[in-house]
Structure formats: structure tokens, C-alpha cells
Amino acid sequence: MWTYNIVGIISLVAYANSLSEGDSCTKKDGSQGVCKAITNCPSALEDIKRHSPPTPCGFVNFDPIVCCGETVVPEPVTPKKRGRGRKTTTTQRPVEVKFSLECPIAERTGRKAYDKCLEYQEKYVYPCRPGPTQGMVRVDQCNREPEGLITGGENAKDGEFPHMALLGYGEGSIVWMCGGVIISERFVLTAGHCSSSRSHGVVKKILVGILKSKDDGDPSRQYDVTVKKHPDYKPPSKYNDIALLKTDRDIQLSRYVVPACLHDGGALSNDSAVITGWGTTVFRQREVPEVLQKATVTRFEDSECSKKFKNLRHMAKGYDAETQLCYGDRVSNKDSCEGDSGGPLQVNQPNVRCMYWIIGITSWGKWCGVAGEPGIYTRVSHYLQWIENEVWP
């Protein structure tokens, strides 16, 4: 969340079906006006100083157009058609800009992962752009819908989880399998067991900025990677199941490709979290969904998980609450399954708007998509120091 220390920040909202310069418009008081660049409308600038936002018409690039009542209203003009950039699968939502004497910046804490989280939010979710001559504007590029918890597994929206990565294996024809989380310009976080496949060898590539698993035709979205497994990951043991993938070049970040925030161990506000991945959603389901899936899961108590995960060959110590998390669904078949490994267990970051907190990495489970049977997730906060040392030395 930004910490604003500047008085008089004004919000102005312009909708996707906006008007163009020269179009007729109606002001909030019911009077007629003409859409103008805000810099050409002195009364609008005065309104901002008085903390009374003008009536928005739209934008030219990032420059706001407002309903200005200082000119004789001309004949109606057919709105100009303007490009909207990349097409999405959802209805365009409002664009919010905040005027201030300078772009507000949240206070840094000195914790590398948290401060980088703020940096990515300020650059790609609410970027600062030149606005009227009075100052700068922050543009709302949040792709997340203001919705509650997901009641069942469903398709994600384009750009809703911009930190998602898909991992590719093999030579020649790449096989896309595990998931991962973009955490910086050069690193993706995933599960240790996703660093290689019995059938296809070591992970070779990542694919970013996609909604559908078949959207692998654009080479600019693909990056070659090298693997850095956690030093204590010793397969087939299920402990310390975490790894970093370093890309061959900087990942091209945008509103559709944004690194996620990493949980630092702070208290969570509730027991629910969201899982995302391109894997099956029901145990032994043959058909794999093409579109990225999302579902809400619930935390199981450590005592429950200790009982469910004991006397297992690859977890000799049983469930380890210090390094693992245990989430699932008690009444329905929502869980991570084949193909979801390495993907995130996430919650809303409470202090940084429109950013996710990655609390876990999908590791394994005895079952998947079976009510009452939780899955195991690697606890990210336990490995945060190792991650910071590798990613931001």
C-alpha cells in the first residue's frame, strides 16, 4: 500500500468506452461541455486544487481528457477509434489515475524481497506517467477482479496471475509440465522435484505471460534457464522441495508479467489461499485444462497433517510444520494435481495492493482433488533468506 504524505491527491476514473477530444459531454452538475486535454482546461486544474475532481472523458495515451465547460458546445463528433494495446479475454475495467505534486512512493523496509515487491508494484501495476503540467499520474493497471474467494476450480482471467510461469522439458519438441513463480527479472521459483523429469530430463525453458498452456508460439515469451536447487533437497525425500531457475536474459516485465511478493513469515489474516496451475483438477482426470485454473483451498491444522502424513517412505520425519504447509478442501474436490507442481499457493498481499503473497510452492500429496485430503506445500518464508541471497545478493 502506498504511504501518501502529499495532501490533495485526487482520483479520476475513465472507463473503457471513453470519449475523445472534441466530443460533447455532461459535467457532474448536469451542464454541457466539451472533452479537452486537462492541460487545456484551466477550470479543471483549479477544481483539482480545490480537491474537486473534474468529470473524466478518457485518455490520449496516459494524458487525461476531461469534460470542460469553458467552450461553446460543438456539434457531436463521432468518437475516434484508438488502439487498446494487447487484447485480453476479459472486459476492460476502469483506469484510475491519481494526481499529486509527485508520484507517491511507499516507504521501504530494508528487507530485499518486500522492497522489490513494492518496486514491481510501482513500476508495472501502478506506473507513474507524465500527466498535466501540475505533476505526475499513477495509472491503475491492476488486472485482478474485485471478487471474493473462488468457490470452485475455474478459469483464471488474462493477466490475473501475472507471476505464473510454465516449465518446459526436452530437446527439440518442448513438453510443458510444471508451474513456477516469477520473483524477479532473472529468477523463477519452483519445486525442487520440477528441476527435472524422468521422461524428459532437466528443465530447459520457461514460458511467461500466457493464459493458455498452448500459447507457446511466441519465442519472446520463452527463456532458457539453469537450475539452482536448494542445497538440502535430497530426492526422493519430500523435504526442502524448492528450487530457483535463472533465465538466460532479463524477463520482459509488463502489466501481464509481474514478479510476485514472497511471504516473510508474518501473520496471515485468514486460513484460505488460492492455488493456480495448468494441471488436472480431479484425481486421475484424463483431460488437462488448457486455461490456467484457480481454486481456493483451506489450511489444515498441523496436528491434522501430522496424522495424515506419517509412516511414509519419503517423509521419514512426517509432516514438518517448520518447512511445509498443509492445504486442501474438506468438502469438495479442490486441490492441486498433476501439472500444478511448482506452482504457487498464494494470498492477497495485505499491505501492497493488487499483489499476491506467495506463501507456498506446490510440492506433493498422497491424493489430489479428493475432499478431506490436503496437499503439501513448501513453506516459502522458511527459505526466504536463501532466496534473497541467490536472487538479490
Which residue ranges make up each domain of the chain?
10-83+92-139, 158-247, 261-384
Contact 152, 295 (CB under 8 A): yes
| C-alpha closest to that of 300 among 370, 374, 355, 197 | 374
Please say if the pLDDT value at position 54 is more than 90: no
Q: Is the dihedral of CA 308, 310, 312, 317 positive or negative?
A: positive
What pLDDT is stored for residue 12 in this prediction? Answer: 39
- Does the annotation count 269 as an active-site position? no
The pLDDT tens digits for 184-194 are 999 999 999 99
- The pLDDT mean for the chain works out to 81
Please say if the pLDDT value at position 33 is more than 70: yes
State the pLDDT confidence band at 139, using cuts at 50, 70 and 90: confident
Contact 55, 41 (CB under 8 A): no
Q: Which of the following is catalytic: 341, 363, 381, 382?
A: 341
What pLDDT is stored for residue 311 in this prediction? Answer: 86
Q: Cα–Cα distance between 356 and 346 in angstroms, integer?
A: 6
Which long-range contacts link 172-178 to residues 24+ away (Cβ below 8 Å)?
A: 174/204, 174/205, 174/216, 175/199, 175/200, 176/207, 176/213, 176/216, 176/278, 177/339, 177/341, 178/203, 178/339, 178/341, 178/342, 178/343
| C-alpha closest to that of 202 among 219, 232, 221, 225 | 225
CATH of the domain spanning 158-247, picked from 2.40.10.10, 3.40.309.10, 3.90.1150.10, 3.40.50.2020 = 2.40.10.10
State the pLDDT confidence band at 242, using cuts at 50, 70 and 90: very high
Please say if the pLDDT value at position 72 is more than 60: no
What pLDDT is stored for residue 350 in this prediction? Answer: 84
The better pLDDT of the pair 167, 50 is held by 167
On whether the 261-384 domain is CATH 2.40.10.10, my answer is: yes
Vertex 380, ends 375 and 382: CA angle to 5°? 110
Close Cβ partners of 372 (under 8 Å, ≥ 6 residues apart): 328, 329, 330, 331
- Does the annotation count 230 as an active-site position? no
Cell of 238: 519430500
Please say if the pLDDT value at position 7 is more than 50: no
Total residue length of the chain = 393
Answer whether the bond into residue 76 is a cis peptide, omega within 30°: no
Contact 185, 251 (CB under 8 A): yes
State the pLDDT confidence band at 4, using cuts at 50, 70 and 90: very low
**Do 158-247 and 261-384 agree at the fold level?**
yes
Cell of 320: 514438518
Q: Which of the following is catalytic: 23, 163, 193, 335?
A: 193
The better pLDDT of the pair 133, 63 is held by 63
Please say if the pLDDT value at position 206 is more than 90: yes
Close Cβ partners of 272 (under 8 Å, ≥ 6 residues apart): 149, 296, 297, 298, 299, 347
Contact 205, 168 (CB under 8 A): yes
Vertex 99, ends 95 and 103: CA angle to 5°? 100
Query: Which amino acid, residue 263?
Result: H
3-class DSSP state of 73: coil
Query: Which amino acid, residue 256?
Result: Y
What pLDDT is stored for residue 146 in this prediction? Answer: 56
In which residue are the cell numbers 523429469 written? 197
Please say if the pLDDT value at position 26 is more than 70: yes
What pLDDT is stored for residue 211 in this prediction? Answer: 95
Q: What is the mean pLDDT of residues 109-120?
A: 95
In which residue are the cell numbers 530447459 written? 204
Give the predicted TM-score (pTM) of the model: 0.73
Please say if the pLDDT value at position 156 is more than 90: yes
Q: Which of the following is catalytic: 140, 241, 320, 335?
A: 241
Please say if the pLDDT value at position 175 is more than 70: yes
Contact 162, 257 (CB under 8 A): yes
Q: Cα–Cα distance between 132 and 257 in angstroms, integer?
A: 28
Q: Cα–Cα distance between 362 and 220 in angstroms, integer?
A: 27
Q: Cα–Cα distance between 255 and 208 in angstroms, integer?
A: 12
- Does the annotation count 193 as an active-site position? yes
DSSP letter (8 states) at residue 391: H
